[in-house]
Amino acid sequence: MPGVQYEEMLPHEIVAARTDKPLAFLPIGTVEWHGVHNATGLDTLKAHRLCVLSAEAGGGLVFPPLWYGEHREIQLMEANPTSREAIADIMQLPPENFGIGTMNGATVDAQAHAYNDLLFHTYDQIASLGFRALIVLCGHYPLQLYTDYTSAVFMRRSQMRVFAATEATFVADMVEELGARVGDHAAKWETSLLMALRPGLTDLSQLPPMGEEVVGVSGEDPREANLDLGRRAVAAIVRRMKEKGDELLAGERANRSVKP
């Protein structure tokens, strides 16, 4: 049975899936510190698996994730001045490795422009492959700064609709229902998601006892993370992503029908 990951499919499988639903998913993220208890690839692992589950549930194809290229010096957790030295110590690296100016001398502006160009290039490639709509899922939340800009500019010159969001965006109105803060960094929310999405890549036993500081984490206590929250959140996010994909394609069809 054909899967939904574009790079793993044969040409006739791609054509059949795209004809049925010309929707693409692009997960983007990074590799960075996510506490002593989570895999460093959490952001991208999370986004990729959510895209795969959404495509399996409602159609569409998932493109390979973008792991690198982001605005590293000011958006990477290791560069956070309040935790840089503690994280560097745990990773057995000098804190200077995460300072401003370490990215081959590239300016902050140059890094931002390079990432925007990478996103534009990727959107163009996906559009050239016959897709009518694209959902970009930002596993690393600061990347939405770039996807909001690039998607708006891209749609001025392309018929392919692009919607970019974080997984938290899809369930921002469900805090009370889910019983947890929606969106964090390596805390209760993200840790619970990784538990559900990629079992075995989280180890709560690595965390210090209650009352002690958890380095490089922002949000509700990760020691409260649990599989039940993760599963309920994943189900809600996948449902909302499926709905958004249908909405994008309906809007794209309506837009084509009114053009001469």
What are 61-112's pLDDT values in tens digits? Answer: 999 999 998 877 777 777 777 888 999 999 999 988 887 777 777 788 888 8
Q: Tell me, rounded to whole angstroms, the distance of Cα 151 from its chain centroid.
A: 15
Residue 260 has pLDDT above 70, yes or no: no
pLDDT band, very low/low/confident/very high, at 258 (cuts 50, 70, 90): very low
The answer to whether residues 148 and 38 touch, using CB atoms and an 8 Å cutoff, is: no
* pLDDT at 239 exceeding the cut of 80: yes
Distance CA 88, CA 48 (A): 27
Tokens 């100016």 locate to: 101
For 119-164, the pLDDT digits (tens) are 999 999 999 999 999 999 999 999 999 999 999 999 999 999 999 9
| In the chain, beta strands by DSSP E | 23-28, 61-62, 133-138, 161-165
Please check whether residue 122 is in contact with residue 85, taking contact to mean a CB–CB distance below 8 angstroms. no
First to last CA, the chain: 40
Cα–Cα distance for residue pair 246/212, rounded to 1 Å: 46
Tell me the sheet residues that pair with 258: none
Structure tokens at 60: 């569409």
Instruction: Give CA–CA dist 151/107, Å, rounded.
Output: 23
Q: Is 190 helix (H, G, I), strand (E, B) or coil?
A: helix
Cα 140 to Cα 45: distance, rounded to the nearest angstrom: 10
38 CA to centre of own chain: 16
Q: Could you tell me which residues are beta bridge partners of residue 185?
A: 218
Q: What is the pLDDT of residue 54?
A: 98
The chain-wide mean pLDDT, for the chain, equals 93
| Exposed / middle / buried, residue 182 (Cβ in 10 Å: 0-12, 13-18, 19+) | buried
Query: Domain 6-168+237-258 carries which CATH code?
Result: 3.40.50.10310
To the nearest 10°, report the CA torsion of 186, 192, 198, 203: 70
41 half-sphere exposure, CB direction, 13 A CA radius: 14
The answer to whether 165 and 137 have CB atoms below 8 angstroms apart is yes
User: Which whole number is the average pLDDT over 21-25?
Assistant: 98
170: pLDDT strictly greater than 60: yes
Tokens 């837009």 belong to 255
Q: Give the span between the Cα atoms of 119 and 63, in whole angstroms.
A: 13
pTM: 0.95
